[in-house]
Structure 1
Amino acid sequence: MVNFNGELLFKENVSLTTDNRGFKYGDGIFETIKVINKKIIFWEDHYFRLMASMRMLRMKIPMEFTLEFLQEEILKTIAVSDTGSSYRVRLNVFRKDGGFYTPTTNEVSYLIDVSLDSFTTKETYEIDVFKDFYNYSGLLSTIKTNNRLINTLASIYAKENDLDNCVLVNERKGAVEVTNGNLFILKGFTVKTPSLSEGCIKGIVRAKVIEILNKNKEYTIEETTISPFEIQKADEVFITNAIMGIQPVTKYKKKKFKTDLGKKLHASLRVLQIAGN
């Protein structure tokens, strides 16, 4: 079942027209959200990122789009397909039909799609750089729009080359993120992650990891520029997103990595999830 503008429908009964702007122009945004035991993980962070993204894209935010309203809609959708304890939720917001590049309205529709979350952290995880196209830096790249073409092409490249993931680079050849998450590297006691000005998604778990590391006197965290060569020189590499939490990387090109910090941070993140922070 999916939730289309508050109505619960079987997927085959959802009617999106050929004028759907999310389909025709990528004129939409989405949040991928983890729900465990009917608890929406880091919901406030997701909600406020969604609101900020809608404002940036000049979408009209409906009066009923409160934190409580959308939370209830998500849980309502899960309730009708309650067959497990962990779920992956995609909340998609898109401008209503009409117009060509210039929309006839800034009002929005929403679609909530729920699936069972079966992700497990992999013991071995290999990545490399995707060089065919750039993920351009700039504020628009920091939000989760429906335009994920580079991510799709990089994922195909990874599959064709027996990789688990690929690093996306910007027009300055700096590392931005991976196809489905943010990137962190450890060298000595310094942890680095690409800054938002590099064009990476303003990740929810990215922010939580930065928060954890800022409270740890043993490590220094830097939001900065990272070159692909610098990844190869790192002691550890790990990636983050809302579903996986933290996935340590074990191999990049010919370099193999330790996974100690990534595993420790994953455990710390689980504590935050349980605490609801």
Structure 2
Amino acid sequence: MVNFNGRLLEKGTAFLDESNRGLRYGDALFETIRVVNSKIFFWEPHYLRLMASMRIMRLPIPMHFTMEQLGEEILQTLKANSLESKAARVRLTVFRDQGGYYTPTSTDVSYIIEASALETPFYTSSQQPYEVELFKDHYLDAGLLSTIKSSNKLVNILAGVFASENGYQNCLLLNQHKNVIEASNGNLFLIKNNTIKTPPITQGCLNGVLRKQLIEIIKKTPEFELEEEPISPFELQKADEMFITNVISGITSVTKYRKKQYNNEVAKTLLGRLNAHVRLL
């Protein structure tokens, strides 16, 4: 079942047409959310990011778009898909209603909520090889629009295609200053000795929800020092560890970049603390 503006519809039901502005112009935002046993992980940060992103994109915010109402719609969608007692991935998409060309004429928005099952309720550590490479064909701008989860994700898509075609598990994206800012599907962290480094939002990386949670965990961990500083490609081969974060997979350790092999001891420590953190939500 799919939730369209509060109506539960069978999957495959035709409820959008060719005039949809998300399809035509990418005039849409989305949040990807992890839910376990009807507990919405990090719901308040997700909601606040959505509201901030809607303001950046000048999308009107309806009165009924409260955290409580949207949270209830998510839970109703899970129940309709028999996922209320399981681990699930939820996608909430918000788009401007049809009308106009580049300049919209509508002052209304619509939303879609989708849900699918996840394999495990906990964040886990994979033992599989995970090799990455730089994606240099296109760059992300170090600007505000790059920090939001809009449906304009062409660079991420092309980086994913490049990785698939060349036998990599992921690609790292660059901004126009040739600094490394993120992976195609998550935020980036490097570890050297006891210093954990991640690019600041001003570099154009996604304002990731799990990124924020992990930063707070690191700040409360005395054995590590956090730096939010630009990362040059030269630093990748000097690091002891590299990992990627997002709210669905948690922490994904990179095992190889070119000739550099990485360990994952710090990542496993942080993964344990992240799982302890979500149990308290």
Query: TM-score, normalised on structure 2?
Result: 0.96
Q: Specify the alignment match of 1:80 in structure 2.
A: 80
Map Cα deviations across residues 125-183 of structure 1 (whole Å, 9 max, x no partner): 11111111101110110000001111111001111111111000011100010010000
Q: 1:64 is matched with which residue?
A: 64
Structure-2 residue corresponding to 1:17: 17
* Structure 1 residue 44 corresponds to structure 2 residue 44: yes
Task: State the distance in 1 between where 2:119 and 2:103 align.
Answer: 40
User: Within 2, Cα distance between the matches of 1:52 and 1:270?
Assistant: 27
Cα distance in structure 2, aligned partners of 1:12 and 1:246: 33
Contact 2:210 2:246 in 1 (8 A): yes
**Corresponding residue to 1:127 among 107, 123, 132:** 132
Q: Which runs of 4+ in 1 moved over 2 A?
A: 118-122
Which of 206, 223, 226 lines up with 2:231 in the alignment? 226
Are 1:179 and 2:180 matched, yes or no?
Answer: no
Residues 254, 10 of structure 1: CA spacing in aligned structure 2 closer, same or farther, 3 A cutoff?
same
* Equivalent residue in structure 2 for 1:209, among 191, 214, 227: 214
| Alignment of structure 1 residues 86-101 onto 2, 5 Å | 86-101=87-102
Once residues 11 and 144 of structure 1 are traced to their aligned partners in structure 2, the CA distance between those partners, rounded to angstroms, is 24
* CA displacement at 1:118 relative to structure 2: 3.2
Cα shift at 1:49 = 0.5
Q: 1:168 aligns with which of 164, 173, 189?
A: 173
Answer whether contact 1:58 1:106 (CA < 8 A) is retained. Answer: no
Q: Secondary structure at the match of 1:13?
A: coil
Cα pair 1:90 1:114 within 8 Å, conserved: yes
Q: Does structure 1 residue 237 correspond to structure 2 residue 237? A: no
* C-alpha deviation, 1:216, in angstroms: 1.3
2:53 corresponds to: 53
Deviations 1:220-252 (A, max 9, x none): 111110011101110010110010111111111
What is the number of residues matched between the two proteins?
276
The alpha-carbon deviation at position 121 of structure 1 amounts to 3.9
CA distance in 2, matches of 1:121, 1:32: 20
The CA distance in 2 between the partners of 1:62 and 1:266, in whole Å, is 37
Q: Percent identity?
A: 51
Separation in 2, partners of 1:17, 1:167: 35
* C-alpha distance in 2 between matches for 1:109 and 1:225: 37
2:119 corresponds to: 118
Once the two structures are TM-superposed, the CA of residue 218 in structure 1 deviates from its matched residue by: 1.2
Task: Output the CA distance in 2 between the equivalents of 1:121 and 1:270.
Answer: 11
1: CA distance, partners of 2:152 / 2:196: 30
Q: Is the 8 A contact 1:130 1:169 kept in 2?
A: yes
Residue 77 of structure 1 aligns to which amino acid in structure 2?
Answer: T
Show structure 1 runs of 5+ residues with no match.
none
**Deviation of the 1:44 alpha carbon:** 0.6
State how far apart, in whole Å, the 2-side matches of 1:121 and 1:160 are. 25
Q: Does 1:143 align with 2:148?
A: yes
- Alpha-carbon distance in structure 2 between the residues aligned to 1:16 and 1:175: 37
* Letter aligned with residue 32 of structure 1: T
* Structure 2: distance between partners of 1:148 and 1:10: 27
Cα distance in 1 for partners of 2:257, 2:19 equals 43
CA displacement, residues 39-63 of structure 1 (integer Å, 9 cap, x when unaligned): 1001111011101111111111110
TM-score norm. by structure 1 comes to: 0.97
Deviation at 1:104, TM superposition (A): 0.4
Tell me which moved more, 175-184 or 100-109: 100-109
CA deviations 1:61-113 (Å, max 9, x no partner) are 11011111000000100101115611110000000000000000232100001
Aligned letter for 2:92?
Answer: L
Q: Secondary structure at the match of 2:116?
A: strand
Measure the CA separation in 2 of the matches of 1:156 and 1:117: 24
